[in-house]
Every structure is written in structure tokens, then in C-alpha cells.
Amino acid sequence: MAKLLPAKTKYRKVHKGRIRGRAKGCDTLAFGEFGLQSLGRGRLTAAQLEAARVAINRYLKRRGKLWVRVFPHKPVTKKPQETRQGKGKGPVEYWCAIVKPGTMVFEVSGSGSQAAREAMRRADGKLPFPCRFVSREELEQY
């Protein structure tokens, strides 16, 4: 399993930050016919993202094309268990992507509507926030 993390970063550790507001960009279908759009907010770890990607690919059996629209850029640190306070910030534990409501997480094209819906349902189970299935036809009606 290839671990998703940036090749190079300016700083090794970053502040925790807050996840407020709605997605500014990456909130419409840009590449595929069907997508998985987040309804909640949170941190999406590299492991969760990879598990969801594998679930989609396994169901679609490599038919069609899959786009992953988010990338885990943010390092999350953690101090070892049973360590006293002080002595600085802990080492990087994992990498995560910050996802806001409205962010398109995955997009798929080249498969049928029912197959894409089921693949996205399986991927939704791996993610830490609720998501909805969207299609290009639904979005063009509004």
C-alpha cells in the first residue's frame, strides 16, 4: 500500500487549526460523471482515503476512471503514551486532508449510474463524515 504524503513540505509540523465554513473550491464535478460530495467536516487521514479508493476500485473492477480530489497535506503530531507534559511537540503520527462540507472527495466516469452509486456507498462507509452521491445530470438541473 503506497502511503499518501507530500514529497516535500516547508515546515515539518503545523498548528492544529479549525475547520470552519464551507468548501470554497473543489465543490463541483470537474472530471467525472459521478461524485462523492462531503456533507460534514473533518480530517480525512491518508489511510482512510486509501481504504475508500481501494473499495471503489475493487467494486468497479478497474472499469472507468477514478479521480481523488483531495490530498493529505497536513501533518498531525502525537506524543507517545505515558509521556509527561513539556519537552516540545511530538513526532508526526499521520497525514490528513482537511475536508469541509461541499468538497468533492472522489469522481468516477466510464461506469453505469448504479455501479458508481454502489461503489461510492462502499467508499462512504470508510470516511469519517457523511457524504452524498452526485451526478452531472442532477447538478445541471439546478
pLDDT in tens, 22-77: 999 888 999 999 999 999 999 999 999 999 999 999 999 888 899 999 999 999 99
pLDDT band at 4 (very low <50, low <70, confident <90, very high): confident
Q: Are strands 104-109 and 65-68 parallel, antiparallel or unpaired?
A: antiparallel
d(CA 131, CA 101): 9
Determine the number of helices (DSSP H) and then strands (DSSP E) in the chain.
3, 7
Asked whether residue 86 carries a pLDDT value surpassing 70, the answer given is yes
Provide long-range contacts, Cβ within 8 A and 24+ apart, for 18-21. 19/43, 19/98, 19/99, 19/100, 21/100
What Rg, from alpha-carbon coordinates, does the chain have? 17
pLDDT band at 96 (very low <50, low <70, confident <90, very high): very high
Q: Which residue has the cell 489511510?
A: 47
Give the model confidence (pLDDT) of 99-139 as tens digits: 999 999 999 999 989 999 999 999 999 999 999 999 988 77
pTM, entire model: 0.90
